[in-house]
Amino acid sequence: MTYANMKLNQYQQVNSQSAEYADPHRLIQMLMEGFITRTAEAKAAMERGDINAKNTAVKKACGILHGLLDSLDFDKGGELASNLASMYFYQEKTLLLGHSRNEPEKLDEVMRLMREVKAGWDGIRDEAVEQPASTKAPAAPANAGSISVSG
């Protein structure tokens, strides 16, 4: 096992242990961070021609998008939840297209979109943590409604 692989395994173990103690808001942050990380790994693998690593990273990134989709509450989230679902589906489609065509700019696009949503999600951290989950859903990220996707 290489030094880099050992460090990655240590990071993943710490990250999975952190998830056990994270609040729901932090879990979504971790999913978003994981998506960005896996997509960056796929792009790096694409650029160095490592097909197996690219496939693995894309598969993990798609799995994370599905986790984000599963976390949406359409009853409480209404239009915002629908918009996020549309964006996650768009990201998956664009990621898979970039993967199949070896177009790193497609991966850059989906990472940019996720960073925008994550910035909004990070911005409501204090409010989301202060409110008990059963009494009030977190407010929508300020910029979540302004994110546009084309496709």
Give the separation between CA 68 and CA 55, rounded to whole angstroms: 20
Residue 54 is encoded by which pair of tokens?
């690219």
Instruction: Give exposure, 2-37, as e/b (b: 16+ Cβ within 10 Å).
Output: eeeeeeeeeeeeeeeeeeeeeeebeebbbbbebbbb
pLDDT per residue, tens digit, the chain (151 aa), is 554 444 444 444 545 555 566 688 889 999 999 999 999 999 999 999 999 999 999 999 999 999 999 999 999 999 999 999 999 999 999 999 999 999 999 999 999 999 999 999 998 866 766 655 444 444 444 444 444 454 4
Residues 6+ apart with CB under 8 A from 19: 27, 30
